[in-house]
Amino acid sequence: MRELTQGSVPSVPVEAIPLQEAPFLAGDGEMARRMREFDWASCPVGPVAQWPQSLRTAVSICLSSRHPIEIWWGPQFARLYNDAYRPILGVHKHPQFLGRPGWECWGEIWDVIGPMLESVRATGKATWSEDFPLMMWRNGYLEETYFTFSYAPLWNEDGSVGGIFCACAETTPRLLSERRLRLLRELGAQTAISPTVQEACAHAMRTLAGGVADVSFALLYERGPDDTQARRVGSTGFAAGPEPLGLEEGRPWPFAEVMRTQRPVRVVLPEAQAPWPGGAWPEPSREAIVFPLLQSGENMLQGFLVMGVNPRRSLDDAYGDFFALASGHVATMLSSARVFEERTRLLAREQAALAEAERQRARLETLFLQAPAGICVLRGTDHVYEFANPRYIELLGGRDVMGKPLRLALPELKEVIVPLLDRVYATGEPFFGNELQVPLRRTEQVQDYYFNFIYQPIYDPSGTIEGISVIAFEVTEQVHARQRAERLTEELEATNQDLDQFAYVASHDLKAPLRGIASLSEWIEEALADTMGEETRRQMGLLRGRVHRLEALINGILSYSRVSRTREKVETVDVGVLLAESRDLLAPRPEASIVIGGGMPTLQAERVPLQQVFLNLMSNALKHAGRVDARIEIACADADAFYDFTLKDNGPGIDPRFHERIWGIFQTLEARDKVEGTGIGLSVVKKIVETRGGRVAIESEPGAGATFHVYWPKRPRVHA
């Protein structure tokens, strides 16, 4: 027994302390709990009661540390570790190897670390390894990893090495990032030095070939001019040579999907075609990723880049970002080369054009003479005619104007044309006349004609204005035709107004007697209630039903006629709120349900026509459901320039033979005695949507319900 010292409490032998209360196993972490619950007597470490103080101290430090620590104990190097070390074990090495000999856990690297551990145990000298490569099997595959760690001896009380203390840190992310960054820098340095696309492809492949540790292989494809094939123009890890591949679905690489989505696609490589190149490693690649190569600054696809994934690394986010940056550099490299090629072609064409311009200069005057436009040259402030081609003379009615000032040659133009010429001569600013009304004497009388023309100042070598060139086109017939069209448009608008008034009056005059018939039938039924039989009552009900149907038909025809002629004010519409209001207006039976999905947009639209579309479709689905528990699901998806609103029901469905017919006016698929309807509702929907720049569609099979699509434009169409 130890002696008691003043101010101390009696010490208790470790053997007498329960394992759950052992101070060197204290802690709230997973590994502290596991060590307290572990049967140490069943493993090489031995019972806790027999642990030397050095092991207890090391375990206490290990469990309380937030740095990854592993302890190798005894001649079998039995393993103990803390929570911070736990991620290093991956998904396959925890917790079954706690307390077990080291080679059982790390068999794949024991030929590397085993001698290091034996050396420390034998010599008592610590080791230090920085960014040391270890190929571990911890996540289901042989994985490339890097660690910085030290092996330090743990001394027993007798002076022997009882175990080894290992403080370690995984440096894999940093080393991989640095290695990949070097490759990206090399790719970036190539973007502006390739004068041709062919050389750019070769540069890209040579650079990627230097990064085989991260890009196990690469295939570069150029999109063909007919958009049906992709031709291989570069590769690493494979034999060179052209390899035209179709872009349709089902080809070795998912080019069709990449082209459609313009996003990268991961590909699991089939083992049947193995071995795929593994780059720096002997194992074949298991995965590849296919990237679209887009033209810089444009949305045009110029090709595809297929890159093999390192077989000893998983394709995590950081690896995917590296591939995305690499493909971006390659795309930029190809785009720059294309721009350079295009500039070279443009320069060559420009030089050829200058030479051609010099050859054509001599022919210019002849061309002026043959031009269909009226061309003349006026010199000086008096605007003296120096040149006029035959067409210009023809426009003047054959009058002789050469060598004369314009105000004397054409005195009727003095008030209209001369001020315009004076302004051009004074300011140097060209004047563009559009359908200018000009009084001109071609015969005995002066008449009004219309011209499009350009007055362009002519400069001498010193930059002083010395004259004005004139190019004129007569558009008298076009102006008269447009004026006639404007008159017809005004008359058509007046006719439409008369038609609207007539439709209103006609519908009122037609519905008034219908309401009278309905009321009369009710009065007759009330008056003869005691004497009227069931058959008579049924006939009276049918009569009123026909009256209401005819009234609905009149309303439908009136609504259909107004769809393309009337426009509401464009306003901000919350479609979710609009659908909820429409559902409340319909007030479906309690058994029926209308489910409005989330994510409904807020858009600029005509509120009333859009609500009429939804009301007609929901009403139509409820009416033809053929069941009391009718259900309508409404959703919205993005469709480029449109919102794709879908209304899906659980009704009887529609045979594909009738998918076009249902949109026609007065079209129904069921007898009107069975389901009340005018056959106008869907035609109104179609007309509203199409006049606003959208379209409608249906997906349905008999017995499987129907899904109606409304493609509504995101931006409202400007109505002239």
Tens digit of each residue's pLDDT (9 = 90 or more) over 379-423: 999 999 998 899 888 898 888 999 999 999 899 888 889 999 999
Q: Among the listed ranges 29-38, 119-128, 370-379, 669-678, which one has the minimum average pLDDT value?
A: 669-678
- Under the banding of pLDDT at 50, 70 and 90, the label for residue 551 is low
Predicted confidence at residue 295, as pLDDT, reads: 84
List CB contacts of 413: < 8 A, sequence separation 6 or more: 406, 407, 438, 439, 440
Average pLDDT score over residue span 227-231:
78
CA neighbours closer than 13 Å in the CB half-sphere of residue 618: 28
Predicted confidence at residue 555, as pLDDT, reads: 54
Mean pLDDT, rounded, of the chain:
83
Predicted confidence at residue 367, as pLDDT, reads: 75
Q: How far apart are CA 202 and CA 217, in angstroms?
A: 14
Burial class (CB in 10 A: 0-12, 13-18, 19+), 579: buried
CA neighbours closer than 13 Å in the CB half-sphere of residue 100: 11
Q: Kindly report the CA angle at 114 between 113 and 120, in degrees rounded to 5?
A: 90
List CB contacts of 56: < 8 A, sequence separation 6 or more: 14, 24
Predicted confidence at residue 615, as pLDDT, reads: 85
Better pLDDT: 50 or 12: 50
Burial class (CB in 10 A: 0-12, 13-18, 19+), 635: middle
Q: How far apart are CA 478 and CA 304, in angstroms?
A: 52
Q: How far apart are CA 247 and CA 229, in angstroms?
A: 5
Predicted confidence at residue 219, as pLDDT, reads: 92
Torsion of CA 328, 331, 336, 338, to 10 degrees: -170
Check whether 124 has a pLDDT greater than 80.
yes
Predicted confidence at residue 629, as pLDDT, reads: 86
Q: What is the pLDDT of residues 299-349, one digit of tens each?
A: 788 899 999 999 999 999 999 999 999 999 998 888 888 888 888 888 888
For the chain, percent of residues with pLDDT exceeding 70: 82
In 3D space, the residue among 300, 306, 307 whose CA is nearest the CA of residue 339 turns out to be 300
| DSSP code for 27 | -
- Under the banding of pLDDT at 50, 70 and 90, the label for residue 507 is low
Q: How far apart are CA 113 and CA 123, in angstroms?
A: 15
| 132 close to 146: Cβ distance less than 8 angstroms | yes
Which stretches of 157-261 are assigned E, i.e. beta strand? Answer: 161-170, 215-223, 229-236, 245-246
Please tell me which of 12-21, 175-184, 264-273 the model is most confident about, judged by mean pLDDT.
175-184
Check whether 428 has a pLDDT greater than 80.
yes
Predicted confidence at residue 662, as pLDDT, reads: 80
